[in-house]
Amino acid sequence: MSAHLTYEESKKRVLFGLYLLAGVTLVEVFISLLAKGHLIPGLEHYKAILYIAGLVIGVLSAYKAYFIVYEFMHMRYEVKGLALTILLPMALLIWAVIAFFQEGNSWKNRRELIKQKNEAPARQGHLEQDGQRGTYVI
């Protein structure tokens, strides 16, 4: 499939692929441990660092996925149509996974909000029966 590379060049490319994937994995683990406060104590309290680390790690994983699909699975050398029929569903799946992480977070926030409002003291009523003029104000 890699018709324009010689045998020696192909072997070198594969070795390069090994170092690239291993290196990116190490960087990901390093960033994850850093953001959780294992390498520099105290970092885990900053939510911003956690989000940025998560984003960077996600991008690096996407890059690893691209490399594996394009180089190891030879997608680079396939017909464009084939590539699209495979990559479009995969891209939508990745979007779905990320979207549902956000969805779960939203459920938690709404649940906390409901709990908060349930525990808050009742507010002054605005209807006539509460002794007010009867204008309905939220």
Partner 1 sequence: MATTENVMDPHVEAHGHDGAADWTGGSEPFRVSYGKLMMWYFLVSDAFTFAGFLIAYGALRFSSPSWPVPDFVFSTAPFGIHHAPLIFVTVMSFLLIISSVTMVRGVQEGHRENKGGALFWVLMTAVGGLGFLGCQAWEWTNLIKTENMSVTRNPFGSFTADGVYLDMEGKPSKEAFHAGSSYLIHRHEAGHGAATAHEGGHAYKPGDHPGYMMDADGFVHRKFQYTSGPYAGQVQVESFGPKAFGALFFFITGFHGFHVFTGVLLLLILAVNIASGLYVERKNGYEMVEKIGLYWHFVDLVWVFVFLVFYLL
Q: Report the interface residues with partner 1, using CB under 8 A.
A: 1, 7, 10-11, 14-15, 17-18, 21-22, 25-26, 28-29, 32-33, 36, 38, 44, 54, 57-58, 61, 64-65, 68-69, 72-74, 78-79, 81-82, 85-86, 89-90, 93-94, 96-98, 100-105, 107-108, 111
Torsion, CA 58, CA 59, CA 60, CA 65, rounded to 10: 90
Contact partners, residue 31, CB within 8 Å, separation at least 6:
53, 56, 57
When the beta carbons of 85 and 132 are compared against partner 1, the nearer one is 85
When the beta carbons of 111 and 126 are compared against partner 1, the nearer one is 111
Please, what's the largest Cα pairwise distance for the chain? 90
Report which DSSP code applies to 135: -
